[in-house]
Structure 1
Amino acid sequence: MSSGGLTQRRRGGGGDAGGAGDYDDDLQAARDPRTPAAPAGAAAAANQAHYEQEGYDADDDDKGAKGRKLTLMEEVLLLGYKDNEGRLSFWNDNISYVLRGAILIELSFRNRINTVKEARKRPFAERLIEVTDERLTGEVLLDEALRYIKTDVDSIGNWIDLLSGETWNLTKIGYQLKQVRERIAKGLVDKGVLRTDKLNLVLFDLPTHPLADHKVKEAIIQRAVDCLLGRGNTNDRRTIAMVCAAYAANVLENALVGLSHAQREAAFQKVDDLLQEHASLSEKSKASGTTEVMAGVLSVYSKMDSIL
């Protein structure tokens, strides 16, 4: 597969076109009030009501606190967010790329995309994906990605590149998802998990989203810790995808700050084992519901500099 963007990311030692692009988009949105934003407040509630009335189905996996359904992208973003400052670390140049992979995993969990059946079995990251169900999900980013995937056939790895804007093919540059981090954060504001504030940067105000409901994030952290320390029944595919994505995005350590040194070491060893096992789609991982799309995305994650 063509992996120019990925090669630059893994061996370039610091550049993240997806992350920089998201950050630049966020600054542009703060400066220019004409920049379109994701639906918020009453409009988002009306949209969600429309989805429910029209029978668009929801995910079959986990729900957030109080019955609020959180996407995989939202869970990973919450782990990276500074609770009071309401933003990600300026030094994190991996999370934007990882979030695009999480979008593909989420779509596969919702049975919207799958790998193309071929006689020759490619490595999972190189397997082609196609839309198998065109119904809307009710999540703006998922539906936008679904619309793009429906128009073209490409591999899992290449779609992560395309959605991140990492491509030399000018005919496919339009597949890039813009302002992903900010749009996910606004979705969490609509769900009551975050709130909106502003950071004054002299020339303009940058929107921030401090944590509004600590219980939701605490529940995510508890799931991650329980999974990595082998507590309870937390080896469902959504939790495994979440901890592996958080690992690749350099935000997993935020969930482990309360652990002892030995527990942290054991947790990182466990997530590394989970990543390798589910990226190879072992029989055990199949039994937990891991999809070929999830295996392909985790295979891409396993080759990122943040993990290597």
Structure 2
Amino acid sequence: MTGVTLAEELLLLAYDDETGKATMPRISLDLGMAAAVLVELALANRVAYADGNLAVTDPTPTGEPVIDQVLAKIAADTPHTPSSWVQRLRHGLRDRILGDLCERGVVRDVDETELGFIHVHRYPATNGFVEADIRRRLATALTGGQLPDERTAALATLVAVVRMEPALGLTGEAVADARRRLAEIATNAGFSGTVSLADSVVRPSISLVVSALAQAVNAALGKPKA
């Protein structure tokens, strides 16, 4: 596995390039990143959803340190529900992913002190090309009439699940339009559980994992405000 992971993509979308601060609630992003890591493992054919649980089907490392840490953790444990795994994995995941992005020069760690003793870390972007590509893919998915590729469809679904539309720079009616299109992508990909897996252009195994994780995150976050 090479390139930027889904969890890294979510994090980059959620952090302001200039201030280096998260633009959305911590719990939403942490749950979303945990789900994204599990989706990444499903895309790599390492985990699968069956009998209500997520379990490892292939323990071979992917080559991505953070992803492989999670893979090893799941492999060493008994199968658990998607809801259980997103809660178990979300703690500390953000710091590990931010550290990886810092090492690769995508963001930088700005350590500041407030009130003389409180350390506050900001992560402004140093390589805007990575996030620009992510936003381009999502913009194409939102405005195009075609179902995006498997990874982009999964990313779009995660963006909708963690209610990240404002992080896309959208306001007013554009947020509602984006939400409708993201829901449409999830439905047509089979991620929402309302389309037959036989009719989905996404691999059935991936549809099952994304659908189960989306339900788990939605349940954890509760109903969105009207």
> Does residue 142 of the first structure (1) align with residue 75 of the second (2)?
no
> Does residue 154 of the first structure (1) align with residue 80 of the second (2)?
yes
> Does residue 77 of the first structure (1) align with residue 77 of the second (2)?
no
For 2:200 and 2:150, the matched residues in 1 are separated by 9
Matched letter for residue 66 of structure 2: L
Instruction: Name the counterpart of 1:130.
Output: 55
Tell me the percent identity: 22
| 2:177 match: secondary structure | helix
1:268 paired residue among 179, 187, 194: 179
1:1-308 → structure 2 map (5 Å cutoff): 58=1, 69-89=3-23, 91-116=25-50, 127-150=52-75, 151-164=77-90, 178-201=91-114, 202-230=116-144, 235-257=148-170, 261-276=172-187, 277-280=190-193, 282-283=196-197, 286-289=200-203, 291=206, 292-303=208-219, 304-305=221-222, 307=224
1:76: how far off? Answer: 0.3
- Give the direction of change, closer, same or farther, for the CA distance of 1:285–1:195 in structure 2 (3 Å limit): farther
Instruction: Name the counterpart of 1:12.
Output: none
1:92: how far off? Answer: 4.1
For 1:86 and 1:256, the matched residues in 2 are separated by 16
- Give the direction of change, closer, same or farther, for the CA distance of 1:228–1:163 in structure 2 (3 Å limit): same
Q: What runs of 5+ residues in structure 1 fail to find an aligned partner?
A: 1-57, 60-68, 119-126, 165-177
- Normalising to structure 1: TM-score of the pair? 0.63
For 1:255 and 1:193, the matched residues in 2 are separated by 19
Deviations 1:75-115 (A, max 9, x none): 00001001122121374431111211111101101111112
Asked whether the equivalents of residues 196 and 210 of structure 1 are also in contact (C-alpha less than 8 Å), the reply is yes
Matched letter for residue 159 of structure 1: W
1:158: how far off? Answer: 2.1
For 2:210 and 2:147, the matched residues in 1 are separated by 18
Asked whether the equivalents of residues 7 and 36 of structure 2 are also in contact (C-alpha less than 8 Å), the reply is yes
Asked whether the equivalents of residues 81 and 89 of structure 1 are also in contact (C-alpha less than 8 Å), the reply is yes
| 1:226 match: secondary structure | helix
For 2:16 and 2:175, the matched residues in 1 are separated by 20
1:234: how far off? Answer: 6.1
- Normalising to structure 2: TM-score of the pair? 0.83
Moved over 4 A (4+): none
Deviations 1:266-286 (A, max 9, x none): 221111233344121534763
- Give the direction of change, closer, same or farther, for the CA distance of 1:80–1:284 in structure 2 (3 Å limit): farther
For 1:183 and 1:137, the matched residues in 2 are separated by 17
For 2:144 and 2:218, the matched residues in 1 are separated by 22
Q: What runs of 5+ residues in structure 2 fail to find an aligned partner?
A: none
- Give the direction of change, closer, same or farther, for the CA distance of 1:162–1:293 in structure 2 (3 Å limit): same
Greater Rg over alpha carbons, structure: 1
For 1:85 and 1:306, the matched residues in 2 are separated by 29
Matched letter for residue 268 of structure 1: R
| 2:54 match: secondary structure | strand
Matched letter for residue 146 of structure 1: L
For 1:306 and 1:219, the matched residues in 2 are separated by 31
| 2:200 match: secondary structure | helix
Asked whether the equivalents of residues 235 and 288 of structure 1 are also in contact (C-alpha less than 8 Å), the reply is no
